[in-house]
Structure 1
């Protein structure tokens, strides 16, 4: 391999990584807001739950301390990766613009990954012992019989219920009526409605229309206008097209945990060393191409079910 070719391959690797990272940080991923990000330092993390923080009360004798739950949620990190094939001649002939579009697309897919994984967890939350586990109480994440010591059964599930104005109103009322382990109101403020493309129009009508149809078909004022923003997830299609979620994303605590062991980074094969050396690459020699991709180590799991309500027709 000539020195000029070597230099071009080295520069290409740096340029692709820089371009990838620039696109990655600019990707708008609304669904990621459903999860709270927690750094991870081990292969598997154990999350102890303190429930929601207790409310301030008059300090007469002893300070009111939040009760600690005995349950733990264990979340094991997983490896994720994608990649594209790059032609050696495109790089040597300075056709970087052509490759750049592919790198951009790779970065955009990576930028939407966390949110997509979060919605996958929500979909699995209707199933007991699903792919992402259960809620901290051992029930399916979305269930009608969650139990906390003081209040008995509480629900975050609208089973057999398609999205409608009535279903939205009922879900809001259910969430706002939840209590914590001490019997105090949780003060839930539902402010995001998550739906698939099929329900986009209906979701926007429910949350943004000035006027809606009343019980007898008459026009009435939509008193819930502006109460929630809408997130459209392309993951909610097919059998899950009618599934919907109402979430409180106004607080530090979120319904889903996104734990990150290794942030998304890029790699190229053959990889450059110090100094870069592609000359010994069997792949480049035999196939005249290179591989460029992204990878990360992370996982999602269930946090507090009280902050999201799921509906499934």
Structure 2
């Protein structure tokens, strides 16, 4: 292939088509547990995140819900990926080897939020959230009916492989995926570009700005206990009995059980087996959807 502007534009178009095909051909899983929040600045502040809004009977004047503010800031971070194509491969029409690579490049960009979101969820047993407690903790501060601070737990403890019970029916989610700039494919392929002039490399890269942070801890229960009927029931009882400030029931309905691949078998036996213990009906069959997440391995 003759290396000129026309052919290089055509080459970029082909690479971009492969990239977009890879990007569209995969189904990321991060939306199971994360809500996407668009960002228009360097960082977003989530001071409102400490309280669920409430509805009350209108008697007398309106009661303004002064949400308790928390200093919780998520700063966008830059991320990039770059591929170099050797000039001689272009001259020799040996570019077919790069199309699968560009497709995989697109796939990697599409699932990159998975890497951030699921890593943050895993770290929740030892990472602080907005209320200065670990995201999965026994001591989240909540006000009771009298307005006093009491401790509320969203973890089952334990020391085994972690699993998570989630109410995914709400618009809000336990994790925030904040996106400032999406991934797009760009190029450095002019003859005068330093990489071409000095190293015979035509470079194609992506970059984005985004980050993740913790949202409402009440919507997910994390446990490292053995995944069985006893620990699963305890998790459901804890979630369905969860109350917000001033004793208001949150009405949570846990409907997804999220597990790493190593717990897929236990999850299937728990949620999909109709009979247990040699013939007894399984009371937990169908009570939640099993979601197996490779990123939690």
**Normalised by the size of structure 2, how large is the TM-score?**
0.69
Number of corresponding residues: 226
- Provide the C-alpha distance between the structure 1 equivalents of 2:52 and 2:253, rounded to a whole number of angstroms: 14
Q: 1:219 maps to what in 2?
A: 279
- In 2, the alpha carbon distance for the partners of 1:6 and 1:92 equals 13
In the alignment, what sits opposite 2:35? 36
User: Which digits, 9 at most, give the CA deviation of each residue in 1:98-156, with x for residues without a partner?
Assistant: 211111111112221112211110111111xx3xxx22211011101111122621111
SS of structure 2 residue aligned to 1:36: strand
Whether the 8 Å contact between 2:29 and 2:114 is mirrored in structure 1 is: yes
RMSD: 2.1
Query: What corresponds to 1:169 in structure 2?
Result: 233
* 1:123 counterpart = 2:187: no
Unaligned runs of 5+ in 2: 159-224
Aligned residue for 2:69, secondary structure, equals coil
Contact 1:211 1:220 in 2 (8 A): yes
| Distance 1:19-1:64 versus aligned 2 partners, 3 A rule | farther
Residue 157 of structure 1 corresponds to: 155
Matches within 5 A, 1:157-306: 157-160=155-158, 161-213=225-277, 218-237=278-297
Deviation of 1:96 (Å): 4.1
Deviation at 1:97, TM superposition (A): 3.5
CA shift, 1:235, in A, is: 2.8
How far the C-alpha of 1:64 sits from its partner, in A, is 4.6
Whether the aligned pair in 2 keeps the contact of 1:8 and 1:91 (CA below 8 Å) is no
> Bigger shift: 74-83 or 15-24?
15-24
Q: In the TM superposition, what is the alpha-carbon distance from 1:199 to its structure 2 partner?
A: 0.5
Aligned to 2:213: none
Contact kept, 8 Å, 1:31 with 1:233, in 2: the verdict is: no
Highest relative contact order (Cα 8 Å, sep 6+), 1 or 2?
1
CA distance in 1, matches of 2:8, 2:117: 37
Task: Decide whether aligned partners of structure 1 residues 220 and 61 sit closer, same or farther in structure 2, where only a CA change above 3 A counts.
Answer: farther
Pick closer, same or farther for the CA change 1:155–1:182 going to 2, 3 Å.
same
TM-score by length of 1: 0.66
CA distance in 1 between counterparts of 2:255 and 2:91 reads: 52
After superposition, the Cα gap between the structure-2 partners of 1:168 and 1:103, relative to the gap in structure 1 and judged at 3 Å, is: same
1:231-267: CA deviation from partner (whole Å, max 9, x where unpaired): 2222323xxxxxxxxxxxxxxxxxxxxxxxxxxxxxx
CA spacing shift, 1:40–1:224, aligned 2, 3 Å: same
Q: How does 1:62-141 map to 2 (within 5 A)?
A: 62-127=61-126, 130=127, 134-141=128-135
How many angstroms does 1:176 deviate by? 0.8
